C-alpha cells in the first residue's frame, strides 16, 4: 500500500507540518525529531515525490545537460560519456536543447533549477553573462564541457583548440604541402573560431611558409553549406591551394562535396583534413583524415568532475584533454 504524509506524521507522533518542514529542509524541529521522522519515512517506504526524496538525501540524483544542437554525433559521444559516469554514480541525465537561443537557454536553466537537478553540464556554447548570473543566484553547480569561459571562473573540460589546429596544419606541412588553405568557422567565436585560426597560422609561420589573407576563408558557422561555399571562395582567392584544413568535419565534408561537383579529385588534386572526428568522417568518400577529440572521455570526465564537486563542495581543476590525428584517405603526400 501507499502511505501519505499523514501516516508518517501519525507514526512519528508529530504534526503534518513538522514532516512537511523536514521534507522542505526548513527549520523549527529538533535533530531528534528529524531522525525519528526520517526513520518512519524509511520504515513505511513513504515516497512523497522525487523532489522531497531529493531533499531527504539533499540530492535528486538527476543532472541536466544543455546542448545547443542535438544533430551531430559529437553530442552522442559526449552524452555517452556523461551517461556512463552518471550510471556509475546512480544519477539520471536530462537533456535540454537550446538551439543557441538565449531566451530558450534561460528558460531551460530555470526549468532545471525548478526540477532541482543536482548540477548542470553546459556544453559546446558560450556561457553568457545572464546564464552565469542565474546559475550563481540559483546556486547550481556547473561544469563547462567542450567550451570555456574567459570571463567567469568555472571548471571546464575541453581540448586545446590552438594546439589541435596547429597539429592539423603541421600534418599537412609534413606531407610536403606548402600552399595550404583553411576554411574557418566564425572568427569572432572565441571558443572554436579564433584559437583554431591562430593555431593554423602559427604552424605555417613556424615552418616559414608565407601566409597572407588569401590563405583563410572565414565563414559564419561550421556547417556543411559553409564548407561548400568555403571551398569555392578559397579556390577563387587562392587558386594554387593543394591542401586544406577545415575547422570542422562538416566543413570538410562540404568541401569534399564541392570538390566532387567541380571535378577536383580528393586527395590527388586537393588534400583535406577535418576537425572533430564525427562518425560521418569515416563515412565520407574518401574517408576523412581529421583531428579527433576524445569526446566520450571528455563527457565522462565532465560528469565525474560534477559529481566530485557535489560531494566535496570544492571546485575541481579544469582539464585539457589530448587530441590526435586520425589518418584516413583524404590527405596525400606531395612529393
Nearer to a copy of itself, 148 or 250 (CB): 250
If one asks whether residue 95 binds a copy of itself (CB under 8 A), the answer comes out as: yes
Return the number of the residue (236 or 265) whose C-beta is nearest a copy of itself: 265
Q: What is the smallest separation between the CB atom of 64 and a copy of itself, expressed in angstroms?
A: 9
Residue 49 sits in the site that holds a copy of itself (CB under 8 A): yes
Interface stretch with a copy of itself, choices 45-53, 174-182, 188-196, 235-243 (CB under 8 A): 45-53
Write down the least CB distance from residue 63 to a copy of itself, Å.
11
Judged by CB under 8 A, which stretch of 33-41, 108-116, 166-174, 305-313 contacts a copy of itself? 108-116
H, E, C per residue of the chain: CCCCHHHHHHHHCCCHHHHHHHHCCCCCCCHHHHHHHHHHHHHHCCCCCHHHHHHHHCCCCEEEEEECCCCCHHHHHHHHHHHHHHHHCCCEEEEEECCCCHHHHHHHHHHHHHCCCCEEEEECCCCCHHHHHHHHHHCCCEEEECCCCCCCCCCEEEECHHHHHHHHHHHHHHCCCCCEEEEECCCCCCCCCHHHHHHHHHHHHHCCCCCCHHHEEECCCCCHHHHHHHHHHHHHHCCCCCEEEECCHHHHHHHHHHHHHHCCCCCCCCEEEEEECCHHHHHCCCCCEEEECCHHHHHHHHHHHHHHHHHHCCCCCCEEECCEEECCCCCCCCC
* Binding footprint of a copy of itself, residue count (CB under 8 A): 50
Interface with a copy of itself includes 50 (CB under 8 A)? Answer: yes
Task: State the residue for C-alpha cell 575541453.
Answer: 158
Interaction between residue 26 and a copy of itself (CB under 8 A) = yes
CB 227 within 8 A of CB 252: yes
What is the closest distance, in whole angstroms, from the C-beta atom of residue 76 to a copy of itself in the complex?
Answer: 4
Judged by CB under 8 A, the stretch of 86-94, 127-135, 169-177, 289-297 that binds a copy of itself is 86-94
Within 242-271, which residues bind a copy of itself (CB under 8 A)?
253-254, 256-257, 260
Options 71, 88, 133, 262; binder of a copy of itself; rule CB under 8 A: 71
Q: Name which position in 25, 35, 51, 262 contacts a copy of itself (CB under 8 A).
A: 51
Nearest distance from residue 209's CB to a copy of itself, in Å? Answer: 30
Nearer to a copy of itself, 174 or 261 (CB): 261
21 binds a copy of itself (CB under 8 A): yes
Query: Which range binds a copy of itself by CB under 8 A, 118-126, 206-214, 269-277, 282-290?
Result: 282-290
Amino acid at each position: 500500500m501507499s502511505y501519505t504524509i499523514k501516516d508518517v506524521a501519525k507514526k512519528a507522533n508529530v504534526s503534518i507540518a513538522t514532516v512537511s518542514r523536514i521534507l522542505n529542509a526548513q527549520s523549527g524541529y529538533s535533530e531528534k525529531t528529524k531522525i525519528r521522522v526520517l526513520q518512519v519515512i524509511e520504515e513505511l517506504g513513504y515516497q512523497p515525490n522525487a523532489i522531497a526524496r531529493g531533499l531527504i538525501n539533499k540530492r535528486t540524483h538527476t543532472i541536466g545537460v544543455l546542448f545547443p544542437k542535438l544533430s551531430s554525433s559529437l553530442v552522442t559521444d559526449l552524452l555517452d560519456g556523461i551517461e556512463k559516469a552518471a550510471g556509475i554514480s546512480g544519477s539520471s541525465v536530462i537533456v535540454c536543447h537550446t538551439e543557441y537561443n538565449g531566451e530558450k537557454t534561460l528558460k531551460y536553466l530555470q526549468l532545471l533549477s525548478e526540477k532541482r537537478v543536482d548540477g548542470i553540464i553546459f556544453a559546446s556554447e558560450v556561457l553568457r553573462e545572464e546564464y552565469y548570473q542565474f546559475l550563481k543566484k540559483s546556486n547550481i553547480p556547473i561544469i563547462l564541457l567542450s567550451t570555456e569561459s574567459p570571463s567567469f571562473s568555472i571548471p571546464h573540460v575541453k581540448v586545446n583548440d590552438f594546439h589541435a589546429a596547429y597539429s592539423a596544419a603541421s600534418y599537412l606541412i609534413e606531407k610536403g604541402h606548402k600552399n595550404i588553405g583553411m576554411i574557418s568557422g566564425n572568427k569572432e567565436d572565441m571558443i572554436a573560431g579564433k584559437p583554431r585560426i591562430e593555431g593554423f597560422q602559427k604552424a605555417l609561420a613556424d615552418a616559414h611558409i608565407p601566409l597572407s589573407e588569401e590563405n583563410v576563408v572565414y565563414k559564419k558557422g561550421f556547417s556543411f553549406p559553409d564548407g561548400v561555399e568555403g571551398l569555392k571562395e578559397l579556390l577563387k582567392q587562392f587558386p594554387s591551394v593543394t591542401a586544406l584544413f577545415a575547422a570542422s568535419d562538416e566543413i570538410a565534408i562540404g568541401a569534399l562535396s564541392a570538390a566532387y561537383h567541380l571535378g577536383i579529385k580528393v586527395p590527388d588534386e586537393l588534400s583535406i583534413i577535418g576537425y572533430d572526428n564525427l562518425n560521418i568522417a569515416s563515412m565520407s568518400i574518401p574517408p576523412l583524415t581529421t583531428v579527433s577529440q576524445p569526446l566520450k572521455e571528455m563527457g565522462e570526465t565532465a560528469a565525474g568532475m560534477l559529481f566530485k564537486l557535489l560531494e566535496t563542495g570544492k571546485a575541481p581543476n579544469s582539464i585539457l584533454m589530448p587530441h590526435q590525428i586520425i589518418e584516413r584517405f583524404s590527405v596525400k603526400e606531395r612529393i
